[in-house]
Amino acid sequence: MLQQEKEFGAWGLSKLLIRNVIVAVIVGLTGAASFLYFELRESHKEQERLTKEILVCEKRATESVERFKNEQLSIYQRIIAEQKEVAQEMEKMTKRVRRLK
């Protein structure tokens, strides 16, 4: 330790200055770690909020797709029923025409 003190003394650095520099470095690193911790925590909260928002949007999209699918199916079933009615009417008309001949 005496050797280091002599080297620092040769550079014009006192014990007090070295101690203050070390304390400043430790305080700076602690401050940086605290800042990063709080930034990470806020980022995590924001990520959770966005994830929840995405889930709500996905649920709405799924509900919309189901609703549109059901509407399409309903329309398709109505068209088929109408086609059957038209086919029956055509068959009746065809029979009437044949009778008239």
6-18 pLDDT, tens digit each? 666 666 667 777 7
Mean predicted lDDT score pLDDT of the chain: 90
pLDDT for 98 = 85
If one compares 65 and 21, the residue with the highest pLDDT of the two is: 65
- Contact between 18 and 8 under an 8 Å Cβ cutoff? The reply is yes
70-96 pLDDT, tens digit each? 999 999 999 999 999 999 999 999 988
Label residue 8 exposed, middle or buried (CB < 10 Å: 0-12, 13-18, 19+): middle
* Statement: residue 5 has pLDDT above 80: no
pLDDT for 56 = 97
